[in-house]
Amino acid sequence: MTGTGAATRPGTPLGRLVAAELIKARGTRAVWLLAAGAVLFAVAWAVVNVLVLLPMAGSGDPGRQVRDSYSMAQQGYPFALLLGIVVTAGEYRHRTITWAFLVTPRRGPVLTARLAACAVLGLIAGGAAAVAASAVTAPLLHLAGRPMTAPGLPWVLFGSVLGTGLWAALGAALGALVRSQAAATAIAFLWFFYAEWFLVMLLPSVGRWVPTGVAKAVSGWSRDGMVGFDGRPIPGALLPPVAAGLVFAGYVLAAALAARLTVLRRDVT
């Protein structure tokens, strides 16, 4: 050792931070389990959709039904959301955030890199879910005597993958904002499974703007945004996919900005 510092490794600072986050995520079992959960959940929904939901829906626009069937690829979103929470709030839980801020004392880039890494992980999980769910959906549709493809299907799959990436990034932003893994998970659970649903029941027109509504719209979901207590869709058309994607990204950025301006400025004790 010389005490003059080790040699420099090439790469942009933000790119290096994203790569470091991906290395940490790859070495964390919970991340693998949640990604696998997203894939399995999407496959399960694909099976349930073709075998149960489609027969219940009866006759309708065949192309729309096929697209909706393939959009089940995004149904693993709760796992993607949890993945993001685990990656960011887990840093506080295990106090490894200290190492991150020692290497990169400017905290904004650390958060940006973490969001980007979670988006990448979500995209990978979403991609795997799209492949696996499609591999199940196509033969089941064929066996059910329905068409296996429909116009606009690539966009549905692209939207499902993108939506899963955005869910993971939203989880990362939420985890950064709340810091407690348990609290962030509880907040997400209460919001997405109760509060959001209750809100849309009271104000159906809000359904197109809530995170679940925009996420479904990103994946090309053609039904209404939310399913009510009776199992029927609540009236209120969803946003167009591109607009929904922008709104979803806006939610991620708003949560991340709130974390940057508040929590991230606090002392690390």
List interacting residues with other proteins (CB under 8 A). 1-11, 13, 16-17, 19-21, 23-24, 26-30, 90, 94-96, 98-106, 267-269
Smallest distance from the beta carbon of 37 to other proteins, in angstroms?
A: 17
Between 28 and 180, whose beta carbon lies closer to other proteins? Answer: 28
Smallest distance from the beta carbon of 164 to other proteins, in angstroms?
A: 23
Could you tell me if 212 and 196 are in contact, meaning their C-beta atoms sit under 8 angstroms apart?
Answer: yes
Smallest distance from the beta carbon of 167 to other proteins, in angstroms?
A: 23
Between 58 and 95, whose beta carbon lies closer to other proteins? Answer: 95
Distances (CA, A) of 245 to 82, 165, 240: 20, 11, 9
| Cβ neighbours for 83, distance < 8 A, ≥ 6 positions apart | 31, 34, 35, 38, 118, 121, 122, 125, 168, 171
Between 29 and 231, whose beta carbon lies closer to other proteins? Answer: 29
Between 36 and 44, whose beta carbon lies closer to other proteins? Answer: 36
Longest dimension (CA), the chain: 76
Smallest distance from the beta carbon of 90 to other proteins, in angstroms?
A: 7
Could you tell me if 170 and 251 are in contact, meaning their C-beta atoms sit under 8 angstroms apart?
Answer: yes
CB-side exposure of 211: number of CA atoms within 13 Å? 26
Between 106 and 230, whose beta carbon lies closer to other proteins? Answer: 106
- Between CA 3 and CA 210 the distance in angstroms is 54
- Between CA 78 and CA 168 the distance in angstroms is 9
Residues listed for the chain = 269
Between 24 and 67, whose beta carbon lies closer to other proteins? Answer: 24
Smallest distance from the beta carbon of 36 to other proteins, in angstroms?
A: 15
Smallest distance from the beta carbon of 206 to other proteins, in angstroms?
A: 39
